[in-house]
Amino acid sequence: MRTIKGPGIFLAQFMGDAAPFNSLKSICEWSASIGFKGVQIPSWDSRLIDLQKAAESKTYADEIKGIVNEAGLEITELSTHLQGQLVAVNPAFTEMFDQFAPAPYHNNINARTEWAVNQLKYAAKASRNLGLDAHATFSGALLWAPAMYPWPQRPAGLVEAGFAELAKRWMPILNAFDEQGVDVCYEIHPGEDLHDGASYERFLEATGNHKRACLLYDPSHLVLQCLNYLEYIDIYHERIKAFHVKDAEFNPTGRSGVYGGFQAWIDRPGRFRSLGDGQVDFKSIFSKLTQYDYAGWAVMEWECCMKHPEDGAREGAPFIKNHIIRVTDKAFDDFAGAATDDAFNKRILGI
């Protein structure tokens, strides 16, 4: 067994125009000052990193790594959640998702998709230049809008065609990551075609069980789907290579349930909370991940509809630290053991 690394923090929700949240150096210093040991970097934010430059220049990647290390931190993973989303977009959402791409690619689905694919390929090389073994992203969605709830009835073959196309788009990316020795960790998330275990398994099958098609485990999205998030670890632990520590709660009423009734987050039965304020059983999660020898980072993602983000971060670092299990290097009953050999064992067994 290995001790989980952490605590880490995903920087996306904390970036802003004012210091210390407006540059890599200052936000790393702030993160370290409140107890974090690692940062997950959103690669679309140019205040933090130039993704293409990090892919093409080992010198520049070393400079980025140096800024982080100087603050006493490590880079946990790069994230391409926004770019990954654009690898596959159903036409119903295309205008809304244009904002995730630079202006020259707006209103041009093919060009935008090509840009997104190239971004992921840059992320593979940049991750290797930074010495990283895992990468966080979204799968995108072709099926979510028209096929998530089967009314009207789904046409025969629609789901199979959707996953075949999704795999077709991701295979060159997965192969690019394989060339760099980096795992692609899909965050299982409503709104993505990979939103639960069953949909992930469809994708695995469509990619020929590609060894780099791995998982980012985030229990909050499983709570909101009423999915057994502990059994999920038992089933998929071999594929879990990244971990978002995010809390959530689900309190259905007679008026609203899983789908939320188009309400604001504060009014939905399912909503995200700061660490320790929700319903997630993190003691059991950290125990299971430790049992299964999870080798990665525990990274806080803050998305609370009530608490101020800075308070959530200050509370989050010690919360994660206190849940990380320092693994033992000996068995608890070693004191009662006795020296033995093959002959002794055979005498006990009568053989």
| Angle, CA 107 vertex, CA 104 and CA 112 arms, to 5° | 60
The pLDDT of residue 100 is above 90: yes
Q: If pLDDT is split at 50, 70 and 90, which confidence band does 137 have?
A: very high
With 90 as the cut, is the pLDDT of residue 209 above it? yes
Work out the average pLDDT over 145-170: 94
Q: Chain-wide mean pLDDT for the chain?
A: 96
Using pLDDT thresholds of 50, 70 and 90, give the confidence band for residue 211.
very high
Q: Using 50, 70 and 90 to split pLDDT, how confident is the model at 145?
A: confident
C-alpha torsion angle, residues 315, 318, 323, 324 (rounded to 10): 140
Which CATH superfamily does the domain covering 5-349 fall into? Divalent-metal-dependent TIM barrel enzymes (3.20.20.150)
Q: What span, in angstroms and rounded, lies between the C-alpha atoms of 215 and 187? A: 6
* % the chain with pLDDT above 90: 92
**Least confident among 111-125, 253-267, 305-319, 330-344:** 330-344
Confidence band of 123 (pLDDT split at 50, 70, 90): very high
CA–CA distance, 328 with 139 (Å, rounded to integer): 37
Reported as a single tens digit per residue, the pLDDT across 31-76 is 999 999 999 999 999 999 999 999 999 999 999 999 999 999 999 9
Q: How many CA atoms lie within 13 A of 295 on its CB side?
A: 6
Q: Is 107 exposed, middle or buried (0-12, 13-18, 19+ CB in 10 A)?
A: exposed
Domain ranges of the chain: 5-349
How much is the pLDDT for 12?
98
pLDDT confidence tier of residue 348, bands split at 50, 70 and 90: confident
Contact present, 239 and 211 (Cβ < 8 Å): no
pLDDT of residue 340: 76
pLDDT band at 331 (very low <50, low <70, confident <90, very high): confident
pLDDT score at 344:
87
Amino acid at site 177:
F
pLDDT surpasses 80 at 214: yes
Please report the pLDDT score of residue 117 as a whole number.
98
Among 152, 2, 148, 132, which Cα is nearest to 54's? 132
Mean pLDDT to the nearest integer, 328-334: 80
pLDDT surpasses 80 at 210: yes
Contacts of residue 40, defined as CB under 8 A and 6 or more positions apart, other chains included, come to 8, 9, 10, 11, 75, 76, 77, 78, 79, 136, 297, 299
What local confidence, expressed as pLDDT, does residue 339 receive?
Answer: 75
pTM above 0.75, yes or no: yes
Query: For 255-301, how does the pLDDT look when each residue is reduced to its tens digit (9 = 90+)?
Result: 999 999 999 999 999 999 999 999 999 999 999 999 999 999 999 99
CA distance 85 to 194: 11
